[in-house]
Amino acid sequence: MTRAKLRLRPKPKENVSILFGLDTIQDAVNLTEACVSTSTEIIACELFFQKGVDLVREAYDLQPLWNNKNSIYLLCEFAGDLGVLDRLNENVLGKCYVPMTQS
């Protein structure tokens, strides 16, 4: 690489991280598409699997996530002006998901 373009953005007023437990990769893809197509505030998505969760859990002696009910997890981060979670609930999330952290 010989050239890069840097775009600075103002620090968001609010960050929301949500962890979803899913059963199939297709469920994760569908949810990611819904988040991307309905929210301009999505800044990151990470897909990971139960085996990876188990490695971390065992290394740090943590309890299972949701009693190992799910085999696939999607961690999404959203950022923007105050009210990110309210806008997510109005658009893509509805009332069926609970935020993991909000700051």
Per-domain boundaries in the chain: 14-102
CATH number of 14-102: 3.30.70.2190
User: What is the spatial distance between Cα 41 and Cα 69, in angstroms, rounded to a whole number?
Assistant: 29
Residues 6+ apart with CB under 8 A from 7: none
Predicted confidence (pLDDT) at residue 40 exceeds the cutoff of 90: no
User: What is the spatial distance between Cα 16 and Cα 42, in angstroms, rounded to a whole number?
Assistant: 9
* Predicted confidence band of residue 95 (pLDDT cuts 50, 70, 90): very low
CB count within 10 Å of CB 99 equals 15
Q: pTM value?
A: 0.78
User: What is the spatial distance between Cα 74 and Cα 25, in angstroms, rounded to a whole number?
Assistant: 10
Predicted confidence (pLDDT) at residue 44 exceeds the cutoff of 80: yes
